[in-house]
C-alpha cells in the first residue's frame, strides 16, 4: 500500500487539474466537483479500492465536511481516507451512489444529520428523522427543542384535535410567543476536569 503522500502525487498525476492536500493521514480534495473523477480513479485503477466502507459528515463550524473511507476487498488493502469540504450555507457535494451503491443510505444519513446535499443521489430523503422535521440535528449550532414546554403552534394543533390544554401551559406558550422565543432545551455544558 502506498503512503498518503505517494498516493497524492499519483492521483494528481493521473487526473490533471485536481489538487489534493494532506490532512493528517488523509487527503483533502480542494474542489468538491472533482470527487467523482477521483473516486472513479480509486476504484478502477490498479489501486482497486472497490469497497467504500464509510461515508459520514462532520461539522467544523466554518465549513462542513464529508469523509470517505475506502478499502480494497480484492487486495485486502486500505484505508484511503478522502475528505471534501463545503460551505455551511449551501452545502453541495457530488453523490458517489452511482459508483458505490453502499453510499446510498450513508449519504442519506449525512444529509439527514448535517444537511449536506449530495447531488445526483437517486433518493435523497431523511432517513432517521421524520418527514417535515426542520433543522440538522448533528450540526454544532443545533438547538434541541424542549419537549416539556409547549409553544403556541403546539397548543393550536392540540386544540384543533379537540384536546383541552391547561391554562398555565397555554399562558406560558403565549408568553414565549410574545417574546418571540422558541422552547429550547439547555445544552449540556462541557464537563469540568476533576
Partner 1 sequence: MTEKTFSLHGAGDMDTQTLEINIGPQHPSTHGVFRMNVVLDGETIVSLKPVMGYLHRNHEQIAENMSYTGSMPYTDRLDYFNSMSNNFGYAMAVEKLANIEVPERAHYIRIIMAELTRLVNHVSVIGFLLNDLGAFFTPVLYAFREREKILDIFEEVAGARMMCNYLRFGGVKYDLSPEVLARIAGILKKFPKFLEEFETLLTKNEILCMRCQNVGVLPAELAVSASVTGPMLRASGVNYDIRKADNYSLYERFKFRVPLGQKGDVYDRYYVRILEMRESLKILEQAVKEIPAGDIMSKKMVPFLKSPRNFKPPVGEAYARVEAPKGELGYYVVSDGTAQPWRYHVRAPSFINLTILEDLCIGQKVADAIIILGSVDIVLGELDR
Q: Which residues in this chain contact partner 1 in the complex, by CB under 8 A?
A: 24, 26, 50-54, 56, 58-59, 67, 69, 71, 73, 76, 79, 81, 100-106, 109, 113, 126-130, 137-138, 187-188, 190-194
For the bound state, the minimum distance from the C-beta of residue 167 to partner 1, rounded and expressed in Å, comes to 25
Cβ proximity to partner 1, 17 vs 191, nearer residue? 191
Cβ proximity to partner 1, 180 vs 193, nearer residue? 193
Cβ proximity to partner 1, 158 vs 169, nearer residue? 158
For residues 57 and 30, the answer to whether their CB atoms sit within 8 Å is no
Q: How far apart are CA 69 and CA 81, in angstroms?
A: 5
For the bound state, the minimum distance from the C-beta of residue 154 to partner 1, rounded and expressed in Å, comes to 20
For the bound state, the minimum distance from the C-beta of residue 100 to partner 1, rounded and expressed in Å, comes to 6
For residues 10 and 18, the answer to whether their CB atoms sit within 8 Å is no
Cβ proximity to partner 1, 18 vs 106, nearer residue? 106
For the bound state, the minimum distance from the C-beta of residue 69 to partner 1, rounded and expressed in Å, comes to 6
Cβ proximity to partner 1, 12 vs 50, nearer residue? 50
Q: How far apart are CA 76 and CA 73, in angstroms?
A: 5
For the bound state, the minimum distance from the C-beta of residue 171 to partner 1, rounded and expressed in Å, comes to 28
For residues 25 and 8, the answer to whether their CB atoms sit within 8 Å is no
Amino acid at each position: 500500500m502506498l503512503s498518503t503522500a505517494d498516493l497524492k502525487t499519483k492521483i494528481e498525476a493521473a487526473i490533471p487539474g485536481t489538487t489534493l492536500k494532506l490532512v493528517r493521514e488523509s487527503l483533502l480534495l480542494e474542489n468538491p466537483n472533482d470527487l467523482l473523477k477521483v473516486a472513479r480513479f480509486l476504484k478502477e485503477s490498479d489501486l482497486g479500492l472497490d469497497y467504500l466502507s464509510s461515508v459520514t459528515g462532520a461539522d467544523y463550524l466554518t465549513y462542513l465536511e464529508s469523509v470517505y473511507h475506502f478499502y480494497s476487498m480484492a487486495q485486502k488493502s486500505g484505508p484511503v481516507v478522502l475528505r471534501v469540504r463545503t460551505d455551511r450555507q449551501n452545502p453541495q457535494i457530488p453523490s458517489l451512489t452511482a459508483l458505490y451503491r453502499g453510499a446510498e443510505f450513508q449519504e442519506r444519513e449525512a444529509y439527514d444529520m448535517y444537511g449536506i446535499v449530495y447531488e445526483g443521489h437517486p433518493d435523497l430523503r431523511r432517513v432517521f428523522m421524520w418527514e417535515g422535521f426542520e433543522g440538522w440535528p448533528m450540526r454544532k449550532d443545533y438547538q434541541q427543542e424542549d419537549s416539556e414546554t409547549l409553544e403556541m403552534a403546539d397548543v393550536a394543533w392540540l386544540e384543533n384535535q379537540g384536546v383541552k390544554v391547561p391554562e398555565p401551559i397555554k399562558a406560558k406558550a403565549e408568553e414565549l410567543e410574545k417574546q418571540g422565543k422558541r422552547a429550547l432545551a439547555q445544552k449540556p455544558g462541557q464537563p469540568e476536569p476533576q
